[in-house]
Structure 1
Amino acid sequence: MLRLAAASLAGTAIEFYDFFVYGTAAALVLGPLFFPTFSPVAGMLAAFATFGIGFVARPLGSVLFGHIGDRHGRRPVLVASLLLTGAATVAVGCVPTYDSIGVTAPVLLLVLRFLQGLGLGGEWGGAVLLTAEHAPAERRGLWSSFPQIGPAVGFLLANGVMLVLSATLSEAQFASWGWRVPFWAAGALALAGLWLRSSLAESPQFLGIDDHARVPLAEVVRGHWRLVLLTAGALATGYAVFYTVTTWSLAYATERLRVERTVMLTCIMAAVVVKGALTPVAAVLGDRFGRRPMCLVGCTASALWMFPMVGLLATGEPLLMFFGFLVAMVAFITMFAVIAAYLPELYEPRVRCTGAAVGYNLGGVLGGALTPIVATTVARGDGVPWGVAAYLTGIALLSLGCFALLPETRPVRVVEAEATTG
């Protein structure tokens, strides 16, 4: 289990590195380089629109790779998704800017971002299911949380590289070629991930299925459509909180508040470090107290914290901004640490790869794709952007209602064993 969990963590870290490095570049440089004829705000919105395309592609990747995962196994999904995402990310670093090839530049950016999202849409389902379906029932939350640590590691890698480049290069050097370096590095990371995954065994639950779904998506739509919609709505707030902190706030503080880029990256990265460290802790609590209660607590905390977080961000003071981000990340991981065990347990094994991944990635469209665009639009005026806080609170309340309608899934025999011991 340790070897499997470590390989899943490393793989998701690499895949999310590819996805996150684009978000950081979109917040910092892509607007002026690829949309120079736009105003600064319009350029930022256009860059965030290409960022959002990746989220739109993720459910489609879930359908494509979910079909492979439910028909042919979880393991092939891990290899194919990693190859696709890695190749697309390296290619982003090679795209000429608008000044060189005109409108073709943003079009290429859009296509490659779509391919990134397509690959990541398959990655999560494959990595989480392979770990969850190997794990013992009483520790499924803990072992399944390892792939959930991967996004934090990927984010720190992506922003760490950006931070070093920002601190060591001039503005002209960074805009000319420095921003491309993290994209080129994705090629080496993808090769390392393929090596790590080459020896993984197929899921025993998949091997135990006698009658595989012929068309998994059709079965999910026919028999689990309500569950997919509820999980998508439930997860929307986690995506909204995470990308508000890691993407929109970076653009807002550097452009509007004139906070140094290195200061903002440091504040955000420090909060994400704590989030990553607390992931297994929250997962263990999910094994002890249940998946749904943890999600309800995290969602409630998010709803209560959005106005304070936006107020702290608007001060432009590093310590206050960090505190606002920190509490938001703790609320986020209280939910998302247990999701890797929760979603697979909601679906039957024959359609699990498709159902769990589609629900997870539709939540990304609702919360991740739209949030930076909506927040940038709402925050155009002067003063504290309370409209952003109201928007985030509304999403949190929507997710709270969806979580309230979902059932608990912690294995019955674990609950019975605890009752007997007690």
Structure 2
Amino acid sequence: MSETAPARPVVTGKPLSAARIATSSMIGTLVEIFDFIVYAFMAALVFGPLFFPAASPWMGTLAALGTHAVAFGMRPLGALLFGWLGDTRGRRTALLGSMLLMGTATVAIGLLPTFATAGLWAPVLLLAFRMLQGLAVGGEWGGAVLVAVEHAPKRRRSLYGSFVQLGTVLGIALASGVVLLVSTAVSADVFRAWGWRVPFLASALLVVLGLVLRKRLEETPEFVAELAKHEATTGRRPRVRAVFRDHWRELIAGSLMWSAPCSFLYVLMTGLVAYTKTYVPSLSGLDVQLGLLITSVVLAGLTLVSATRADRWGRERLIRWSGVLLVVWAFPAFWLVDTGAFGPMLLAMLVGSVCYAAFNGAVPSLMADLFPVASRYTGCGLCIAFGTAVAGGILPIAGLAVVGETGGSSVPLSLTLVLCGVLTLAGVALARRTRRDQPAA
């Protein structure tokens, strides 16, 4: 289908209320984040010996986490692909495509043979399907946010947009709970033999639910109006390259702003699974999973509180505070983790979650407002893709690698959090130069 003579977006079914649309976006994001995070847990827990047995235990874990990090490199490509679909063919089409791809890749990982069965083909296939997961999740967040925000009442854009971030938090909680349940229901040997496959295969049910909900979505009024206006004036649909040509400052600002929450998520939450496994043996994997579950539930409530305040207090102000809090808490958090006791570790997570919650409530509507409707899906998707690639993939893996070189010191991980907090502050400062944040009246 040519770009100059495209089919119109299809509007199907009975229109849903804005609240139901926001809830649908939340559940869709929950499904994709569940799939994405389950891999992170398994990479830290069992993928090293199963897919990279020739390496030492720590190097095997790093190799497995390396395949996890590769997905972050695929996220910008996913943002471009699904951003193009979302900005030219419709938000609904892109979101259905990203979920179908994620579900297929996740179930395939659950069916993979291990190194003992397939040799080198096992890690190669693992890497390939992880790359597809990264491609899919790269197209998820921007579209889910836009479906919620572009349907929302003007006074509640932050609240409705935060439902997508709520889906992220609940996806982490569900992944933690499922992994915790499976790992306690079977012995360690059984978990390594086949128990690790259960969360991947069970995700098929969640994907079916997500697809059913997303097929009921309407195209957003803002997108339909902008598309008609653009075609009437130019005779064609919007072009993706416009976001790089006209909005590169917004891309840089938005990408930098994601640094603090991504580093909290992948260093102080899921990253603890790998760190404590080797260097804080008094904290078991079950301890960390339980801490993640508790923190995620608390974080869900804090996210809604932050969202109700964002339009009133100013979204950029809340994001700035998230960066400051992470810088201040970076070293105390790992001092608590290094005590080797569950209570201090949980406290480290819970206090850090305030940083993430402040960001969660403010960022969805702010990201949407950084870009015009015609390039909004691409712009929002690229911001989180670039931000997570650096602060969620490269820096945490590098920090963990340096931990190994220093004999287990947590200082590199604390410094990673500090750096990412500073990057978020720089992103907020740049955003204020490219636009003026005006809270809804």
Amino acid at match of 1:192: L
Alignment of 1:22-421 (within 5 A): 22-209=39-226, 210-211=229-230, 214=237, 216-258=239-281, 259-380=283-404, 381-382=406-407, 384-407=409-432, 410-411=437-438, 414-415=440-441
Amino acid at match of 1:353: Y
- The runs of 5 or more residues in structure 2 that have no matched partner are 1-17
Conserved 8 A contact 2:400-2:412: no
- The runs of 5 or more residues in structure 1 that have no matched partner are 416-422
Conserved 8 A contact 1:145-1:338: yes
**Aligned-partner Cα distance in 1 for 2:91–2:288:** 38
**Aligned-partner Cα distance in 2 for 1:409–1:97:** 53
Conserved 8 A contact 1:69-1:354: yes
**Aligned-partner Cα distance in 1 for 2:63–2:248:** 33
Conserved 8 A contact 2:158-2:308: yes
Amino acid at match of 2:180: L
Q: In structure 2, what is the equivalent of residue 420 of structure 1?
A: none
Amino acid at match of 1:211: H
**Aligned-partner Cα distance in 1 for 2:256–2:163:** 24
Q: Secondary structure at the match of 2:400?
A: helix
Cα distance, 1:168 vs. partner? 1.5
**Aligned-partner Cα distance in 2 for 1:359–1:264:** 30
Cα distance, 1:247 vs. partner? 2.2
**Aligned-partner Cα distance in 2 for 1:301–1:339:** 16
Cα distance, 1:132 vs. partner? 0.4
TM-score computed with the length of structure 2 as normaliser: 0.91
What are the Cα deviations for residues 142-195 of structure 1, in whole angstroms up to 9, with x where unaligned?
011111100111111111111011112111100000000000011111111111
**Aligned-partner Cα distance in 2 for 1:411–1:372:** 34
Aligned-CA RMSD value: 1.4
**Aligned-partner Cα distance in 1 for 2:407–2:64:** 22
What are the Cα deviations for residues 206-240 of structure 1, in whole angstroms up to 9, with x where unaligned?
01011167463310111111211121112112111
Amino acid at match of 2:145: V
Cα distance, 1:383 vs. partner? 5.7
What are the Cα deviations for residues 241-285 of structure 1, in whole angstroms up to 9, with x where unaligned?
111122221111122221222111111221111111111110111
**Aligned-partner Cα distance in 2 for 1:157–1:147:** 15
How many residues are aligned here? 414
**Aligned-partner Cα distance in 2 for 1:71–1:335:** 29
Runs of 4+ in 1 over 4 A off after TM superposition: 212-215, 408-412
**Aligned-partner Cα distance in 2 for 1:271–1:184:** 25
**Aligned-partner Cα distance in 2 for 1:207–1:225:** 25
TM-score computed with the length of structure 1 as normaliser: 0.95
**Aligned-partner Cα distance in 2 for 1:389–1:123:** 29
Amino acid at match of 2:387: G
Q: Secondary structure at the match of 2:230?
A: coil
Conserved 8 A contact 1:290-1:409: no
Aligned-residue identity in percent: 37
Amino acid at match of 1:325: M
